[in-house]
């Protein structure tokens, strides 16, 4: 029986590897044909670089001065849209100001690609073949590939969460909490992760995150000042009305209004209950719950943000995925690959079903150590 399980695992891993390689090749072809010629003007790093440049020249109180951002970005020869990320991403962008923009954008792209590989290296479960399949499927997933092509910081958040989990597994909760604080560059991707960790009993990790985040918030408030903070509020209010920021969020199909707040409250409650059901265990399951819950809860979701669900899937596998969860992750992977076609509703339903399944402790697969599993059947494809 064990030999049969190993054979099935290998077959699924080989199938996953070839599927991922084919998807990656297609994404690379599409990038060369349609994106690379416009790399300089379409990479989203131009917005962080331009916002940082505007703040450096006029003071950080002007970080969210949209007219200043526009002038800075257009001076780079790129087209502008508002920079809306929290100040830590602009701080990171400031480090690149010592370089010409053409050099900085290449190094930024290399950084986000390295971050994606780093997250895979730390978290992807299974044998070498299964891990290779996970990498190919991760990079081949269109939301992941698109995020890397346009320089989105999603991979940096994934790397921060992966590092936090890795440190927590090695009984270094304070360092894990510090690593987790790096999600401040795009916090909506892991907004509920700290809360889920607290509810699940990882208090030292939570309070280390809280302390580091409080320091960053204090520095940001001092640098922005009252006027700069008001500019940021105005920019966020503007973004809340944009259809692209709501297209893949619950506000997309539901529309703006009380119904959205009710669903958000339900999502947060389910995430808390799910984390509480896994209290006293390892950090993998609460982090996965927090990621899935965050992407359902947040009003700001781009389809490239769904790459975070791959990380959640790896953590679920490591903590002992049930057959239902494996099925949901396989279906979810297919939906995410077709995100531009199927749009929000099927993806939101799959996310919701996965979150509900996480509210019950998963039955451990026979013969599998949830802390260091050899991936069971469907080893290469158990991905959301």
Residue 372 falls within a domain, yes or no?
A: no
Is 368 within a domain? no
Domain assignment of residue 216, yes or no: yes
Provide the number of structural domains found in the chain: 1
How far apart are alpha carbons 194 and 181 in whole angstroms? 9
Q: Is 166 among the domain residues? A: yes
Question: Using CA atoms, how far apart are residues 376 and 326, in angstroms rounded to an integer?
Answer: 10
- What's the pLDDT at 363? 45
Condensed to tens digits (0 to 9), the pLDDT of residues 80-105 reads 989 999 999 999 999 999 999 999 99
Among 32-46, 186-200, 223-237, 332-346, the minimum mean pLDDT is found in 32-46
Residue 373 covered by a domain = no
Within a domain: residue 365?
no
CB 196 within 8 A of CB 272: yes
Cβ pair 89, 153 in contact under 8 A: yes
Residue 377 lies in a domain: no
Torsion of CA 71, 77, 82, 84, to 10 degrees: -110
d(CA 269, CA 309): 20
Domain around 113: 6-357
Residues 325 and 88: their CA atoms lie apart, in Å, by: 35
Banded model confidence at residue 383, pLDDT cuts 50, 70, 90: very low
Residue 255 has pLDDT above 90, yes or no: no
Dihedral sign computed on CA atoms, order 76, 77, 83, 86? negative
Angstrom CA distances, 363 to 286, 292, 309, 325, 351, stand at: 16, 20, 21, 11, 20
CB 125 within 8 A of CB 84: no
Categorize the per-residue pLDDT at 368 as very low, low, confident or very high, splitting at 50, 70 and 90.
Answer: very low
Cβ atoms of residues 220 and 236 within 8 Å: no
Kindly report, residue by residue over 128-168, the tens digit of the pLDDT. 999 999 999 999 999 999 999 999 999 999 999 999 999 99
For 40-82, write each residue's pLDDT tens digit: 787 999 999 999 999 999 999 999 999 999 999 999 988 898 9
Beta carbons of 254 and 262 less than 8 angstroms apart:
no
In a domain, 376, yes or no: no
Per-residue pLDDT at 374 exceeds 90: no
pLDDT surpasses 80 at 169: yes
139, 143, 147, 153: CA torsion to nearest 10: -100
Hunting for tokens 């099935």 — which residue is that?
8
d(CA 40, CA 255): 34
CB-based burial of residue 54 (10 Å sphere; 0-12 exposed, 13-18 middle, 19+ buried)?
A: buried
């Amino acid at each position: 029986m064990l030999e049969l399980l190993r054979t099935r695992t290998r077959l699924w891993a080989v199938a996953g590897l070839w599927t991922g390689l084919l998807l990656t090749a297609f994404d690379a072809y599409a990038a060369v044909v349609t994106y690379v010629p416009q790399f300089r003007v379409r990479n989203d790093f131009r917005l962080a670089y331009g916002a940082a440049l505007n703040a450096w020249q006029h003071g950080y109180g002007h970080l969210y001065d949209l007219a200043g951002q526009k002038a800075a970005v257009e001076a780079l020869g790129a087209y502008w849209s508002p920079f809306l990320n929290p100040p830590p991403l602009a701080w990171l962008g400031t480090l690149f100001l010592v370089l010409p923009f053409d050099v900085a954008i290449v190094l930024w792209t290399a950084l986000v690609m390295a971050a994606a590989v780093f997250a895979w290296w730390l978290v992807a479960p299974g044998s070498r073949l299964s891990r290779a399949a996970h990498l190919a499927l991760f990079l081949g997933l269109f939301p992941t590939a698109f995020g890397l092509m346009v320089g989105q910081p999603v991979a940096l958040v994934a790397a921060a969460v992966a590092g936090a989990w890795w440190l927590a597994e090695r009984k270094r909760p304070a360092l894990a909490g510090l690593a987790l604080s790096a999600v401040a560059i795009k916090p909506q991707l892991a907004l509920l992760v700290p809360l889920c960790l607290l509810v699940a009993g990882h208090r030292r990790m939570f309070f280390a995150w809280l302390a580091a985040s409080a320091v960053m918030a204090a520095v940001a408030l001092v640098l922005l000042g009252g006027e700069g903070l008001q500019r940021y509020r105005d920019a966020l209010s503007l973004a809340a009305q944009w259809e692209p920021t709501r297209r893949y969020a619950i506000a997309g199909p539901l529309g703006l209004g009380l119904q959205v707040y009710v669903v958000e409250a339900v999502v947060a409650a389910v995430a808390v209950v799910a984390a509480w059901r896994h209290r006293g265990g390892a950090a993998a399951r609460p982090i996965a719950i927090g990621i899935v819950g965050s992407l359902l809860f947040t009003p700001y979701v781009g389809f490239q943000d769904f790459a975070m669900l791959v990380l959640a899937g790896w953590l679920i596998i490591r903590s002992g995925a049930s057959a239902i969860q494996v099925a949901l992750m396989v279906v979810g992977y297919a939906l995410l690959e077709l995100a531009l076609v199927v749009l929000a509703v099927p993806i939101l339903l799959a996310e919701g079903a996965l979150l509900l399944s996480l509210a019950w402790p998963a039955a451990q697969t026979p013969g599998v150590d949830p802390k260091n599993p050899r991936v069971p059947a469907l080893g290469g494809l158990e991905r959301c």
